[in-house]
Structure 1
Amino acid sequence: MTAPKFTPGPWVVDEYEGAQSASGELIMWFGGYGDAGCIVKDADRALIAAAPELYEALAPFAEFERVRNAMGGNTAKDGVLWAVNSSAGSAEITAEDLRRAIAALAKARGES
């Protein structure tokens, strides 16, 4: 997997100014105040700020698949890869979930 080209996190998103890295580097400028610029919803602001951490959280899944393939393992085909079922509920991660994670990481790196 190639290294990401985006500014590393954490990012801080201000209500009016835009997004900045922890070192103060401007990531995104919203273009001014009120009607003069871009209005960003609180939920979108939170997603923008979380983008680097989301990337970091997904990266191990893509690396796992890369290493498994390099060792001659089968690539994820179809169906459930991991599953849990308990009194707390049930959840599963499918091959499609893994493919979507790998595609999202490639998109974040500018590869697709």
Structure 2
Amino acid sequence: MKRVANCVAEIMTPYPRSVVARYGGEEIAVILPQCDSAAALSVARLLCAQVRILEIEHDGSERGRVTVSIGTATMNAVGVRGKKQLLGSADEALYFAKAAGRDCVRSCNQSDDAAAARA
């Protein structure tokens, strides 16, 4: 977990207003103020790829290595009107990523996911 957290923190260095925090047991929250959905997806895909590159062994994983599943949400997403809805939307997107096979990124805005799949 520490290597993953360090990797995330390092990637977020160019974003001086970002916040990286442990959230729950094995979850990390990344908050990017004034970030639109395209930028959030781009950063999330970068995080996912960089953790994959670490190739940290994980015997309990079907892939044999540590991966991350990431859910994104933005304040301008449909249905998000406050902090609680933002957190709930990000959490729901995270579970969509896990259900999609893990080691991937999902957005609370399904049209973002469709566009990402075509890219």
1 or 2, which has the higher helix percentage?
A: 2
TM-score normalized by the length of structure 2: 0.28
TM-score normalized by the length of structure 1: 0.30
Bigger relative CO (Cα 8 Å, ≥ 6 apart)? 1
1 or 2, which has the higher strand percentage?
A: 1
